[in-house]
Structure 1
């Protein structure tokens, strides 16, 4: 009722002990397009929904506003929330990675970089002359410790995850990830991507899928961070729809998926992709559909 008396800056607490500016930033994440991150032992994948603008519909050559951003050869991030804020954060991460590589001639450890990012975001919740970044991020990376999926929120909470979805209608995606969590262990790279696409399809709800474009990125062992092009995105989307067809028998499903993968390899002019396996989410107390991770 008296919220407007306590939301002028981030250092003013309400009588209930709330920081409304931080809550506004969290709300911006909830209103953003959904994005999913999941990993196996050798690969980490990011899948994001990108809203199709009217300009892109009128002109097919008009670029879309990407929701997946490369950070370094071994790392990238997908976003939900304010894209302008995400560009500032991404530029900071790129600068840190370049400085670390110049000093030590190696990749910046993913966990250390994300921890330092959380410290930077925390400062914006404590100073009256700054506002919290209104963007949530899923950061995927691969280093000497293996694959990583980190969730970073405007409140400066950093979570180490094995599968997570953020953004609008992301609860449906988290439910799918929980239901198929055990199958990620033996998933190939193609299966891992298809599981992510299947999860994010649930975030569409009753909305027209033609208004959205799916962006996919992968990073892993012996494979630098790569954002797929439109052709690859469409091929994987068709494969995922085949996997989700309940009337198709297992044999027909396997033949259809195998044929699509062969067609994809011919179109992209590379051999079959490797396989990977990995666990599910690091958490002791399961909440939020069993996928709420433990703060680091």
Structure 2
């Protein structure tokens, strides 16, 4: 049995129990520019790679402010990300108007997960029955979102998948070459909870740098945003980002300027490398 018999629309299950259109949407996230999120007990930092399609064009915006206490970073189809960001803003505005309080992050994430499955434009009475996996004229959103926010329960970082699933993380990376950033984060995530704001930002820059695989990191291709206690969600100025990158590069180059200490037999005394 060939795959193309079962991937023509989102309503057809393969014999293995798979929905290929949903998997294709998840693959679109993997092809997008990388996005990284880290959280501590009091702050959440988002970082993205901004790459223009051409030297003659500007890059697509990858970080969106939803409310003073919530923001998102996306990887995948930017157009879908804008649609979902606008939906999230409306949800926050409506909740604040009715209840006169900020919308909790966890509740917003659940609504976003439901939105990933709903068919828009239908009456409220049948919304729960009309989902993307039941109607062939709709497709899944081809974008993954890292949702960073702060509410009464503390700082939160969620990942919303095109399949409608959502997960809370201490740190996570999505998009192209994100595995390198995940490996870096996995080695350090246990200490993130006690990190300060500046320490989170520095590790976010390091994680983004890992996804570039040798390409030089500059503020022109990197966007950073932060939200925390007594600090509304906002983008960090490009000049500050470049200063941080420069200071980190100086620290990395410092040991290389020192001549290695040699033993009497001429060896450097360094421990053997594990290969």
What is the TM-score of this pair, normalised by structure 1?
0.77
What are the Cα deviations for residues 25-55 of structure 1, in whole angstroms up to 9, with x where unaligned? 011000001110001111000000010343x
Structure 1 residues 102 and 235, CA gap change in structure 2 (3 angstroms): same
Q: Any conservation in 1 of the 2:41–2:194 contact (CA below 8 Å)?
A: no
CA separation in 1, counterparts of 2:248 and 2:35? 16
What are the Cα deviations for residues 241-273 of structure 1, in whole angstroms up to 9, with x where unaligned? 345457279xxxxxxxxxxxxxxxxxxxxxxxx
Which is further off, 161-170 or 117-126? 117-126
Which is further off, 89-98 or 240-249? 240-249
- Where do residues 193-272 of structure 1 align in structure 2 (5 Å cutoff)? 193-207=201-215, 209=217, 213-242=221-250, 244-245=252-253, 247=255
Matched, 1:192 2:200: yes
- 2:48 corresponds in structure 1 to 48
- 1:76 corresponds in structure 2 to 71
- 2:37 corresponds in structure 1 to 37
Q: Any conservation in 2 of the 1:78–1:138 contact (CA below 8 Å)?
A: yes
Matched, 1:97 2:105: no
Matched, 1:18 2:18: yes
- 1:252 corresponds in structure 2 to none
Q: Quote the RMSD (CA, aligned, Å).
A: 2.1
Q: Deviation of residue 201 (structure 1)?
A: 0.7
1:172 to 177, 180, 184: 180
- 2:2 corresponds in structure 1 to 2
Q: Deviation of residue 7 (structure 1)?
A: 1.1
- Secondary structure at the aligned position of 1:33 is classed as coil
Structure 1 residues 223 and 12, CA gap change in structure 2 (3 angstroms): same
CA separation in 2, counterparts of 1:232 and 1:149? 24
Matched, 1:135 2:130: no
Computing the radius of gyration from Cα coordinates, the structure with the larger value is 2
Q: Which runs of structure 1 show a deviation greater than 6 angstroms over 4 or more consecutive aligned residues?
A: none
Matched, 1:107 2:102: yes
CA separation in 1, counterparts of 2:114 and 2:198? 35
Structure 1: runs of 5 or more not aligned: 250-296
Q: Deviation of residue 207 (structure 1)?
A: 4.2
Which is further off, 39-48 or 236-245? 236-245
